[in-house]
């Protein structure tokens, strides 16, 4: 199949890494479904940018809270109704509720786990049956270097992203014989809405810890997604790719 016949879902596609990923996929010819939970305007803007990147694309915007079983099922069912198949699932939706462990409320822990990890589980579970039927699928989970190394003040976020890595490896083993791969990408410090409010001094301190001496761009992560999405990547599964400017060395 050519890329125009491949259908890709990007959860949390309204901004940041999700937006860059949707645009990159559209530019390569994939038909993209842009999922959002609360900010429809941002998702519609991503759709317009996808069309600008590829005027022959037919991007679809679907609002659904993927942290709930109903929302995840709605996203997958509406995509199947629109396109009849799903080839690529990018589990990107994520939130933060940063604070030190002693100050962290249980509801803040649960909220982060609910979106970042449970949401990926629900969407992956819902998409597994159609992918198994077509004997092709690419599941790409956006984790974080925080899930590999941990980070003070982010116990909930780190737990969700570390869990996503274990989840990825388990799914990869379960589905490998069905033509379905599962891989994770662990971005380092990326310039998104989550980092734009940091002070210049903090940004400079972060950059000093990165061998490349700069934060990454959302497009850097999107390019890694494109690699895992390709049909030629069929023999790559269960991997965790750090896109971090060398922080993990």
Give dist(CA 163, CA 156) in Å, integer.
11
Helix axes 16-27, 218-229, angle to 10 degrees: 50
Active site residue 235: no
Give dist(CA 249, CA 133) in Å, integer.
40
Q: How far is CA 120 from its chain centroid?
A: 9
Are 31 and 57 within 8 A, CB to CB? yes
**Catalytic choice (30, 36, 157, 235):** 157
**Which residues make Cβ contacts (< 8 Å) with residue 185, sequence separation at least 6?**
140, 141, 142, 143, 221, 224, 225, 228, 240, 241, 243
Helix axes 106-113, 155-175, angle to 10 degrees: 30
**Which residues make Cβ contacts (< 8 Å) with residue 135, sequence separation at least 6?**
178, 179, 180
Joined together, the tokens standing for residue 101 give 């462990």
Nearest Cα to Cα of residue 146 among 138, 154, 136: 154
Active-site positions? Answer: 157
């Amino acid at each position: 199949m050519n890329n125009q016949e491949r259908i890709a879902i990007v959860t949390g596609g309204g901004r940041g890494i999700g937006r860059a990923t949707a645009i990159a996929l559209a530019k390569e010819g994939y038909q993209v479904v842009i999922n959002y939970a609360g900010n429809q305007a941002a998702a519609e803007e991503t759709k317009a940018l996808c069309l600008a990147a590829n005027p022959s694309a037919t991007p679809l915007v679907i609002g659904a809270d993927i942290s709930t079983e109903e929302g995840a099922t709605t996203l997958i069912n509406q995509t199947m109704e629109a396109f009849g198949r799903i080839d690529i699932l990018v589990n990107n939706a994520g939130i933060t509720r940063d604070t030190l462990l002693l100050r962290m409320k249980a509801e803040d822990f649960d909220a982060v786990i609910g979106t970042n990890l449970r949401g990926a589980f629900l969407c992956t579970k819902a998409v597994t049956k159609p992918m198994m039927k077509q004997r092709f699928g690419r599941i790409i989970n956006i984790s974080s270097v925080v899930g590999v190394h941990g980070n003070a003040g982010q116990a909930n976020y780190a737990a969700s992203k570390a869990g996503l890595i274990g989840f990825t490896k388990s799914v990869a083993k379960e589905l490998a014989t069905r033509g379905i791969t599962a891989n994770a990408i662990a971005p380092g410090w990326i310039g998104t809405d989550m980092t734009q409010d940091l002070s210049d001094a903090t940004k400079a301190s972060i950059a000093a810890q990165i061998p490349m001496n700069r934060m990454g761009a959302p497009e850097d992560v999107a390019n890694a997604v494109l690699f895992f999405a390709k049909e030629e990547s069929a023999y790559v599964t269960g991997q965790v790719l750090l896109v971090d400017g060398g922080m993990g060395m």
